[in-house]
A and B are shown apart, each in its own frame.
Chain A
């Protein structure tokens, strides 16, 4: 080594996987991510509208919870998103990428709409029970195809379920031709607006009580199913490794198909909740991207139902708020996609800092 060696210091990023992280720390990181996202959004908003961002944010709050009606809409949208997220939970736990919630919702919604149109005069309780069963079955049919081919031919399920979404959309446009009302409008209109056949009834003075009851029941049942039953355990093992599952004597094909049917069935029910419990009509935008948003919800909450509730509430809050500021400042409603998009990117990115510890390491090296 020569005598006049120079020392060069390098700064390198050093990553280590955390074994565990205190829950409060994880939430602080998420909170920082949300704040950063809101700051970026503020810049975007100012750049576009030239308004004071604080006014805009108070507009968001006003839009989401500013009146009794708005609060109910926010709640209604939140529980639907949660329901779809809960539906995706078992499939994702199994590492089965069900990207087809959108299509399963549409099929469930179509079944609900069909019953409302053709059997609107049945006794209300019977009709609603029928609607829930039929929509679950419709979702199940839509989930069976990719599950069967995944189990037997190992067909890529994310691409398969994705394609089925668009087949479902075409089926809806096909059905609209027959159901359109008034004819020539190319839309179904409000179904049974006179006798409210198949509409979820008002309970305790709210239109959306039954929506909430259904979502709570499904969520609790699924949480118990995943945590405390043999099926739930099998799903977790299959998700970890197909080989391990085989070795442990689990019939992987059976578990894959069964779990996907449950997942798709819940998404189908979500379709009924949207059609019978909220919009009372059906169109290609009935699912409205919720099937995709729910994927983000389920993933960011680590498939934890309580976390999913929080994430969906937050996303819906921002969306409803953004719709309000869009009309307030004369922007178009897609402004909400941009704002929620930015927030989602930050939330996705921050998970990295929850899983890994990043340190800047100084190392000194001899230069030649």
Chain B
């Protein structure tokens, strides 16, 4: 029972960054932009939040938790927004190829994260391991202790920091936005057929920009979650690993619907840590278990393309640039 509980909590811890990344990527892809820069943007969001908090805590006598959290949030959102802006500017305004720009952005973002993460302590004068204890505290468990102390459900439901709950709230809001609001439907129209949307008077360029920027900012929060809540305000190079790509895989598993991504992220999170909890697993077979999230994604991708249900498909203009004069 306790083992199951720890497993569940660990799975949720893995799920949150994936959910942020997938929600952001879904919003972006709905506009027809296949932003493969999301893994890099998540690195950028993570390291920028950490850097902001680190500079603040290092330069102030008595750092306050609240200010630290705010600075981390703003720095993270700003950096990931800039990443999204770079992507949109190159693909939408300068009409470059989306795959190429996205992959370049990921290389850049991962390098950016590892460079500043690796040299931050050195640049700050050799203080050793970076740690932003005060700020990280603000990202930790915040619900009143009587809730957290309820047996079983207290740990599973109420023991997380605010970003965990925020990830679910954002996923629900984005689903509502995409299915229930006029602006959301306009956005979907842009992703399905930009020429028709354009003819109907929808501003294609603006929609693509906004959805990519907001999507990048949401994804960046996933990186911030990872450094602040999961690693408690520290950095390890390449520690974030391939989670960014898993988030893109999750978009497929979720069939381009953020509410599906909530349970999907749990499945991926569980698969990600499953190898620790299966008794009697050898080192070799645990590597094979780690393969599962990707294999599952491929199976889902093939099945959905075979069944051909329109609502479960990628946006039809995904990955293709739209130039009005080339209609």
Contact = CB atoms under 8 A, between A and B. Distances in A.
B295 interface: yes
A337 B97 contact: no
Contact of A330 (B122, B252, B288): B122
B94 A160 contact: no
Contact of B96 (A160, A167, A351): A351
A66 interface: no
Which 3 A-B pairs rank lowest in CB-CB distance, beginning with the nearest?
Answer: A337-B111, A341-B108, A352-B94
A340 B109 CA distance: 12
Contacts of A328: none
Interface in A141-172: 145, 149, 153-156, 158-160, 162-167, 169-171
A342 interface: yes
B297 A338 contact: no
A345 interface: yes
A153 to B, nearest CB: 5
A161 to B, nearest CB: 10
A292 to B, nearest CB: 5
Interface in A16-47: 17
A246 to B, nearest CB: 19
Count class of interface residues, chain B: 35 or more
B294 to A, nearest CB: 5
A351 B248 CA distance: 28
Interface stretch (A57-65, A193-201, A293-301): A293-301
Interface of B: 34, 36, 86, 89-90, 94-97, 99-101, 103-108, 110-112, 114-115, 118-119, 122-123, 237, 242, 245, 248-249, 252, 282-284, 287-288, 290-291, 294-295, 297-298, 301-302, 305-306, 314, 318-319, 325
Interface residues of A, number: 52
Given A163-B249, A166-B245, A178-B284, A334 B115 contact: yes
Contacts of B36: 99, 162
A154 B104 contact: no
Contacts of A209: none
A162 B306 CA distance: 19
A213 interface: no
B248 to A, nearest CB: 7
Q: Taking each of A159, A162, A177, A296, which has the highest tally of chain B beta carbons within 10 Å of its own beta carbon?
A: A159
A53 B320 CA distance: 39
Given A162-B248, A163-B301, A170-B290, A348 B103 contact: no
A153 B309 CA distance: 13
A135 interface: no
A22 to B, nearest CB: 21
A344 interface: yes
Contact of A153 (B106, B122, B291, B305): B305
A337 B284 contact: no
A interface SS class: helix
A293 B100 contact: no
Contact of B112 (A171, A174, A338, A356): A338
B242 A166 contact: yes
Contact of B314 (A156, A300, A340, A352): A156
A110 B95 CA distance: 38
A158 B101 CA distance: 14
A281 B6 CA distance: 38
Given A156-B314, A177-B287, A349-B90, A149 B305 contact: yes
Nearest to B320: A95
A292 B106 CA distance: 10
Given A156-B314, A163-B245, A167-B298, 14 more contacts: A17-B325, A149-B302, A162-B245, A163-B301, A166-B245, A173-B287, A332-B237, A337-B110, A341-B107, A341-B108, A344-B107, A345-B104, A352-B96, A356-B95
B115 A335 contact: yes
Contact of A167 (B104, B282, B291, B302): B291
Contacts of B301: 155-156, 159-160, 163
A335 B305 CA distance: 41
A166 B90 contact: no
